[in-house]
Each structure stands twice: as structure tokens, then as C-alpha cells.
Chains A and B, each alone.
Chain A
Amino acid sequence: MELLISLIIGLLTAVGVFLVLRGRTFPVVLGLTVLSYAVNLFIFSAGRLVIDGAAVLKSGLATPDPVPQALVLTAIVIGFAMTAFAVILAIRARADLGNDHVDGRLPEQSGEQK
């Protein structure tokens, strides 16, 4: 199971990074979202994986580490705020600058087709 989760984290990181490196805003926002999944899972897994643990204090059951969970819980919400901010920034940039490139201007060399 640990191997599966590691692979998932690795894949999500790789795809997130690749998308974040794109030149247009929408893929970058997607990349940020994917990357935050990866990071959240990573932090969560720092508490080690526990199946059928006690979600709340209960005698007789293994209690999963609550600290990473608390961290990730707020990270998810803050991550949403960040994604939202990035999205709105992208929209605003397009409205003000007339294009959706992350640099706010189209690259000079014509390697790119519309």
C-alpha cells in the first residue's frame, strides 16, 4: 500500500510540476491544483498510513497521527484560496494585458501558434 501511495505522490508531483511549467495560465492553475494534491498527500503520509484507525479517540483502536491531519486540513482550505487567487489573477491579467501567457506578454520568437 505504501508503494501505491508513493507512486501516486510521485506521479501527481511530476504532472503538477510539468503543468506548472506551462506558459499559459489555465494549465498552470491546473498544475497548482494537482501539485497541492501531491503535497497534501505527502504531508498526510508523514503521519504514516493507518487503515481502520480511530477517527476519534476510542480505546482499542490505533489512533492515526492527528498532527499531519490538522496541517493538511488547513492546507486544503488555504490551497483553495491560493488556487482561487491564481485564477482571478490570471483572469485579471488577461483582461488588462490581452493575453493569457504567464509572463503577461507573448514570447517574441514565433515558436508558438495560436
Chain B
Amino acid sequence: MLNLFWIPLLTLIGVFVSLSANRVSRTACAYATAALPAAALAIVISYAPSVLDGEHFVEQFEWIPAVGLELAFRLDGFALLFALLILGIGLLVILYARYYLSEQDNMPRFYAMLILFMTAMLGIVLSENLIQLWLFWELTSISSFLLISFWNHKSEARKGARMALTITGMGGLALFAGILLIGQVVGSFNLTDVLAQGDLIRGSELYPYILVLVLLGAFTKSAQFPFHFWLPHAMAAPTPVSAYLHSATMVKAGIFLMARLYPALAGTDMWFLIVTLTGLATLLVGAYMALFKHDLKGLLAYSTISHLGLITLLLGLNSKLAAVAATFHIINHATFKASLFMAAGIIDHETGSRDMRKLNGLWRYMPHTAMLAMVAALAMAGVPLLNGFLSKEMFFAETLQQGSLGALSWILPVLATVAGIFSVAYSLRFIHDVFFNGEPINLPKTPHEPPRYMKIPVEILVALCFVVGIAPGLVVAEILHSAATSLLQGETPYYSLAIWHGFNFPLLMSFIALLGGIVVYATRKQLFEFQAQFPERDAKAIFDQNIKRIVDAATRIYGTLENGSLQRYTMLFILSVALFTTVPMTKLINLEGARPLLPVDGISIVATIILVVSTLVTLIWHRKRMIALIAVSVVGLIVSLIFARFSAPDLALTQLSVEVVTVILLMLALFFLPQVTAKAASPSSVVRDLGLATLIGGVMATISYAMMTHPQTSIADFFIANSKTGGGGTNVVNVILVDFRGFDTFGEITVLGIAGLGIYKLIARMKLFMPSADLNGIPWSNDHHPMMLATVSRALLPLALLVSAYIFLRGHNLPGGGFIAGLVTAVALILQYIANGVDFMRERSKLNYQWLISVGLIIAGATGMGSWLFGYPFLSSWFDYFYLPGIGKFELASAMLFDLGVYLTVIGSTLLILGNLGALTTHARPEESK
């Protein structure tokens, strides 16, 4: 037995076959395109005997198990029916399109999109997993968008395609939400589970949401009222597309979905009300509107809407027999409607017009086509001995059986008959207006029969209409039974496919419909005049207007939120932070916790005062750049003192050295930024910002106080206990950095390296904005570097490097480590830049800082990966103690190598930033002397 996966896979490969068949003749292209779908059809048929015997096949393998997504296909009776329709009619359409498309059309592209659509459609009907089904569902929307807009030079094709995509895409989103809810209720996305859990779903309180969401998806796809309007506009597509997508397959996807989930969702009053009423409205609106369309395809489009409504109505009736009737009508409608579309395409192709006011008396010019079209149209009207009659009889019988509307139950059969009347009337119009009724008027071409092979698909389909209509038991009984059984997930009730059931009510209704249809058609002139009184409601205009309204509203909201002002974004961001922190704080009752407070001493108070004053100086004189900068550096110094005071020497050292580089950096930056900071915008915004700042500052102080006074439970105990024994170091902070949380540190130095490189790129090729003098017009000083500083700094360099090496080496056991040592080294080198100038350094130091960053990262990474060699996870560390005579006992740890990577990266990044910026200030000076 062949694999189910091959069915959609073959057609998918077919997409590329068509695309690559652009150098061969058109006929060869059609054959090449048809080959793989034909093979897929052969596979489906090879499964058919077992499926008809009641078996069903499920094949799956895990795809993304974490979200319950599997690649799973399922072939049962109902899927088999659809697969046969999709592939069978698809092949006929391929043949038909070969003759329909003109020389100018890009045939490989057309075929590729058609086969892509076929794949998507097969995916829907064969999916076992609901999410997978939804993916294919969206793929049909997209491929149908491409197909409708195939003639993309036409504005109406583009608009129609956009409308179809919007409507079906929205429905698709709703469907997705519905499917997720189903998955939540059932705990699985597999159809087998979902269909078995119908009672669970119907009993769930989520059921109304699930139902509405899933039905939204189905109704939009199947063009149900009030979403039906996209279908007539989709008629801008080439006719083979209309025949395939908009009659036989895609619009049936919604029906398919309702039928597929029938055992899981149907059977409730809510289902009955929504589905039946929607179906009824669609049935009537479609049938009525179809009569007044002058465009052949317009008539067929509304007729399709009407028939889709009929099937929906049947599914809504909550009766097993009605579900059988729905299945039967799916088959029948696909055959007669596809052939009618093809016939309409032939007429359009051979006469150059689809306007029924011009098309008259074609019988004399194309009797063969006329014959075929007439038979199909009669099937559509529901005339006995044709397939449409049988399913329509079943439909009438079912409407009579329905009692859910109580005393008003008679409404349903009456309205069904009314729809039947209009259906007969528009079918008659299709026949009489086109093939008889006088002579053609002003046709662009003289009508004649189409090429022989163009008629073959129509002939096959019309023959089916006939055969099913005359001998239903022979042709469709088996597949209908197997499809209905798998639709219902249970035995089908008794039904008879006989043509003659004796004189009964359904027959009477058919008779009334036929007679009434003839009368309506006969009085069409009066009806047309009546209809003409109403202003034409152009669905497209309304749709466009609504879309425009949505876009305008979105633009307005977007415009208010994102007006390009960073200040505003920052304000909104901080405001929301303030809100999120303020509200919970109001619920905190015990501000002060049980932790005893530390005593305050005099030095702390003095330091605090200095900090507060310098902070305020920064605040008040933030426009006086130098003062603000000095004040900020004082703040930074006090902060590092705070770290030192509270037993964090590592932090104090780091803060101190970062402070130095930050201040140097800002000093350099001052050179490039305006010498005067402009005044703030308005007093009101100052007040607003001050208010916000005070609020958030107050909240932060409160949180800090509450936090610090409450006792703490920390994960620190683990680190403290294992630092010496597991990491081989007594400086727990450093051991955490290079060992326990080494991976984080690795990430951090990577960020540091990226920031350095990013800055390097920003500086490169910068168009410099260079003042040659200060504000008072005094040119920059051209002095040489001060000799004292230069001399002392040169002597200091080895000393500083020695210190940094010492800090680095002792880092594992005493305050220090790679970060601090790197910063100290960087400061020492920067001092050389300051004292001696960039040129001096450039001559002597051949260090490439990008290279340094890379080496640092590589060392750190390689140290981490080294542990793989010994069979340990990434960044496991190793250490041991050694003894050398003269030195004594010392420790070696792999973490030190990692720290070396940190050290090099820090030096590289810092110098890359400052060295380059410094170089700019030096070289940019216009009057720079050698």
C-alpha cells in the first residue's frame, strides 16, 4: 500500500514541475502538470476499495510535539469523496485551461498556482491534525488570492483577490482561535480524539465561543450570508479558476469543515439556529440575486452561493438524513456547477462576451456546447432524471421533517420552495436567454464551437450528471454511504436513492418550484423593472469604505502612539512602569520589615550629603556640561564607596574603574556635541517630568526600603557552600561569574564585544561635525602634550600592568578578577593615549582591538567547549593544586582561562570605543600639527 503522505506531496512536487515546464509547448506543459496529480489520484483510488469497505487510514509522525502539532493524514470515506472531487475535477480543469488560456498568459505560472491550490485543498481534506488542517486552510486562501489576481493587469482582478483574501483570511483567524479552544477542551488536536469527544465539547462552557469561531471560518470560506459578497467579485478570475475553486472545491472547504466537525459540534439548538438560519438566508439571497445578474458568471456565482446555503442549511438541521442529503448535494453541485462554469467559459472564449443581454440565440452557432450547458442547467434547476433532482428532493423532504421551530416549522419548506422557484427561474434564464431568445447583439466575435478537447471536461461532467440522475444506486451509492458514515462517525439511517418515491410532498414541492420558476421567468420583465427601483448596493464600495475606515482608525491610533518623539515614548514607558509599581505598593501594609536596621554613622551621613548635593547639581545644571559631568563623576565615586562600605569590594573596584572610563568617554563626547545645550521645551513639560520623576523616585525609595528591611531567603547559600569545594575559589562573586554562572558571563562579554564593534561601525565613515573654536571664538589650544604627565605615565604603565596582572591572578580567591583587571589595564592604556597622544600610541602599540575582542571570546568559548573533551557539559570547570619549588603551593583552574577571555574582551571593547573616539578628536582638528 502506498503512503498517504504521497498524495499531497506529489501535487506539491507538481508545482515545481509546472514552473519548470516553461520552455516546452503548451500541450506538453499541460500534460507535465497533469502527471503528478494523476499519480496522486491513482494512489487515492488504490485506497478506495478498503475505504469503501469502511476502513479508515491514519498516518502520522511527530512534527512539533511541544504544541501538539503532528504531521498527520487521514483518509476515510468523507475525505475520499473530497479527494476524488479535488483531483478528478482538478485534472479536468487542467485540460480545460490548456485551451482556455491565451498565448499571452503565462501558462506555467497559472498551472503552478492551480496545483499549489490543489495541494492545499488536499491537505485540508486529508488532515488528521486540526492545526495542520488550518495551515492548509490558510494556504488555500493565499493560493486562491494568487489565482483570482492571475490577470493582475486588471484592477477588478486585484480588488476581487484582495477582498477574497481579506474575508477568508479573517475567517481563518477566527477558525484558528476556535481550533485552539477545541484543543484546550479536548487536550488534543487530532481529529480522532476531537470527534470522539463531541459530548465533552458540547458540554464545555467554551462551546459557544468554539462554535461561533469555527463557523465564522466556515461561513467566510463558503461565502455564506453576510460574507457572500466576495464570491461574485472573485469571478474576475480566469474561468477555469472559477470552475475549480469557486464551485467545486474551495468554497466547499467551509462546508467540509462543518461536516468534518459535525460529530463534535452539531446537535445543539445553537448549532441549529446559527447554521440553519445562515444557510436559509444564503439560499434565498443567492437564488434571488442570481436571477438579476446579466453576467453569466455573476449568475453562476450567486447560484453557487445559493447552493452552498442549501448544503449549510441541511447540515444545520441536526438530522442524520439531512447530513446524507448534504453529502449527496456536495457531489451533485460540484459536477453540474463546474460544467456550467466551463460552459460559460467556452461561451466567453468563443463570443468575447459574458453579458446575457448581448448573448442570444447561440444554439445555432454552438449546438454541442449548448446541449451540454442546457443539461447541466437543468440539473441545477432540479429537473427529474438529472442528479440535481435527487438531492433537491432529499432537501425538500428534510425541510418537511424539521420540527425545531415549533408551530412555525412550516416556514422552512415554504421558503425552500421559494428558493427552488428562483433556482428554476435563473436556470431557465441561463438556457433561454443565452441559447435562444433571438439573435446575438454586437458580439465581439462570431460565435463558433470551441476546440474539441475543450469540451471533453464538460462532457465528462455532464455525463456524470446524467448517470447519477438515472442510476444513482449504481454510481454513487457506495461512496455516498461511506462518506456519510464517516461524516456522522456512525451508521447512516435508511435512505433510498430511487428516482421515484411515489406521489408525496417533496414531489409536489418540486413541481411547484418548476411551475413557479417558469412563471417567474416569464414575468421577468416586470421583475427586472421592480428590481431596478432599488438603488444598486455595491458590495465592493461598502467593503472598501469599511476597510478604509479601519485603516484610518488604525492610522489615527498609530499616529497618536508613535509620533516619532522619543521623549514621548520614554515618558509613556516610564509612566507605565510607575503605574505597575505604584499600584502593588498601595497594597503593601508593612512597609518596615522585621530585619534590624543598621546603625548610621557620621561618615555615611557626610557621604550621603555629598552624593545628594552632587546629584542635585547634576539635575539643576544639567545644561552646563562641564559642571554636570564633574557632579556625575562625584556621584559615581560615592556609589563605589557605598559598595565598599557594604562589603562588596569587587563592585567598588569595578565601579571605580568604570567611572574613570565613563568620564573620559563623556569628556571626549563633549567635543562632538553642541557646546551649549538648548533650553528645555516648555515649563509645563518640566513640571510634568518633575512630577513623574518624583513619583517614580518615591516609589523606588519605598520599594527599596521595604525590601531592605524585610528578611531574605536567597539562593546564595548554595553558592557559598560550594564555592570553595566545587569552584575552587574563596571569592564567591568571582566564582559565580566564571564558574557557576559562566554561561551568563559568556553572554555578557559577547554583548560587550558586540557593543564595541557596533560603536566602531558607528564611528567609521562618520561625517564629522567639528568646531574649530570654542563658543567665545578662541581656537582650540594647540599645545603639545604636557611633558610631566607624559613622563610619569610612561613610567606608570608597567606598574599598572603589573597591578592588573596581580588583580587578575588573585581574582579567584580575593577581590579582583577578569572584569576588574581588564578595566584597570584599559585605564592604564588610555592614560598613555591622554598623556602622549594617539599618534604616539599608534606607532608603539600594534594591538588590534577587534582582534583582541575576538581572541577573548574565542578563549572563553573554547574553555567552555574544552569540558566536552572530558565528557562534561559546556563550561564545567576544573581546578587542582600544584607545588613548585620556590613558589610554593598554587592553584590552577580552568575558570582562570575563562577569566582570561573576559579580561581580553573587556580591554578590547573599552579601547575600541575610547581609542577610536579619541583618534577622531585628534585627527579632526583642522589645524592639527604634526
The reply to whether chain A is a binding partner of chain B is yes
Q: Which residues of A contact B (CB under 8 A)?
A: 1-15, 17-27, 29-30, 33-34, 37-38, 40-42, 44-58, 63-67, 69-70, 72-74, 76-85, 87-92, 94-96, 98, 100, 102-103, 107, 111-114
A residues less than 8 Å from B689 (CB atoms):
17-18, 21-22
Is B797 an interface residue, CB under 8 A from the partner?
no
Is B815 an interface residue, CB under 8 A from the partner?
yes
Taking the closest CB of chain B, its distance from the CB of A107, in whole angstroms, is: 6
Can you list 5 pairs linking A and B with CB atoms under 8 Å apart?
A67-B716, A69-B733, A72-B651, A73-B654, A77-B654
Are B733 and A70 neighbours in the complex by a CB distance under 8 Å? Answer: yes
Q: Given known contacts A76-B654, A79-B658, A111-B682, is B707 in contact with A45 (CB within 8 Å)?
A: yes
Instruction: Across the A-B interface, give the 4 residue pairs with the lowest CB-CB distance, nearest first.
Output: A10-B701, A14-B697, A53-B647, A81-B755
Give chain B interface residues in 666-698, CB to chain A under 8 Å: 666, 669-670, 672-674, 676-682, 689-690, 692-694, 696-698
Apart from A20-B570, A45-B707, list 11 A-B contacts with CB within 8 A: A1-B599, A13-B700, A22-B622, A22-B680, A41-B642, A42-B703, A67-B716, A77-B823, A78-B748, A94-B674, A100-B673
Taking the closest CB of chain A, its distance from the CB of B444, in whole angstroms, is: 58
Is B766 an interface residue, CB under 8 A from the partner?
yes
Taking the closest CB of chain A, its distance from the CB of B848, in whole angstroms, is: 19
Interface stretch (choices B3-11, B232-240, B582-590, B719-727): B719-727
Taking the closest CB of chain B, its distance from the CB of A2, in whole angstroms, is: 4
Cα A82 to Cα B693 in complex, Å, equals 22
Cα A55 to Cα B599 in complex, Å, equals 20
B residues less than 8 Å from A54 (CB atoms):
647
Are A25 and B673 neighbours in the complex by a CB distance under 8 Å? Answer: yes
Is B650 an interface residue, CB under 8 A from the partner?
yes
Q: Which of B618, B661, B677, B762 contacts A88 (CB 8 A)?
A: B762
Q: Which of B608, B654, B708 contacts A2 (CB 8 A)?
A: B708
Taking the closest CB of chain A, its distance from the CB of B494, in whole angstroms, is: 75
Q: Which of A40, A46, A64, A66 contacts B639 (CB 8 A)?
A: A40
Q: Which residues of B contact A (CB under 8 A)?
A: 564-567, 570-571, 574, 595, 597-600, 604-605, 608, 611-612, 615-616, 618-619, 622-623, 625, 628-629, 632, 635-636, 639, 642-643, 645-651, 654-655, 658, 661-662, 665-666, 669-670, 672-674, 676-682, 689-690, 692-694, 696-698, 700-705, 707-709, 712, 714-716, 719-720, 723-724, 730-733, 736-737, 741, 744-745, 748, 751-752, 755-756, 758-759, 762-763, 766-769, 813-815, 819, 823, 906, 909-910, 913, 917
Taking the closest CB of chain A, its distance from the CB of B841, in whole angstroms, is: 19
Taking the closest CB of chain B, its distance from the CB of A37, in whole angstroms, is: 5
Cα A5 to Cα B906 in complex, Å, equals 30
Are A55 and B678 neighbours in the complex by a CB distance under 8 Å? Answer: no
Q: Given known contacts A5-B708, A12-B635, A33-B662, is B564 in contact with A103 (CB within 8 Å)?
A: yes
Cα A6 to Cα B598 in complex, Å, equals 13
Cα A105 to Cα B752 in complex, Å, equals 30
Taking the closest CB of chain B, its distance from the CB of A10, in whole angstroms, is: 3
Are B696 and A17 neighbours in the complex by a CB distance under 8 Å? Answer: yes
Taking the closest CB of chain B, its distance from the CB of A25, in whole angstroms, is: 6
Closest-by-CB residue of A relative to B595 is A48
Q: Given known contacts A9-B701, A88-B763, is B661 in contact with A80 (CB within 8 Å)?
A: yes
B residues less than 8 Å from A52 (CB atoms):
647
Q: Which of A9, A58, A74 has the most CB of B within 10 A?
A: A74
Taking the closest CB of chain B, its distance from the CB of A110, in whole angstroms, is: 10
Cα A53 to Cα B674 in complex, Å, equals 46
Cα A72 to Cα B640 in complex, Å, equals 12
Cα A33 to Cα B632 in complex, Å, equals 8
Cα A98 to Cα B680 in complex, Å, equals 18
Taking the closest CB of chain A, its distance from the CB of B764, in whole angstroms, is: 10
Are A67 and B639 neighbours in the complex by a CB distance under 8 Å? Answer: no
Are B737 and A70 neighbours in the complex by a CB distance under 8 Å? Answer: yes
Are B704 and A5 neighbours in the complex by a CB distance under 8 Å? Answer: yes
Closest-by-CB residue of A relative to B770 is A95
Q: Which of A9, A18, A41, A107 has the most CB of B within 10 A?
A: A18
Are B615 and A15 neighbours in the complex by a CB distance under 8 Å? Answer: yes
B residues less than 8 Å from A92 (CB atoms):
762-763, 766
Cα A107 to Cα B681 in complex, Å, equals 9
Are B690 and A18 neighbours in the complex by a CB distance under 8 Å? Answer: yes
Closest-by-CB residue of B relative to A39 is B700
Are A76 and B646 neighbours in the complex by a CB distance under 8 Å? Answer: no
Cα A15 to Cα B107 in complex, Å, equals 68
Are A51 and B645 neighbours in the complex by a CB distance under 8 Å? Answer: yes
B residues less than 8 Å from A38 (CB atoms):
700
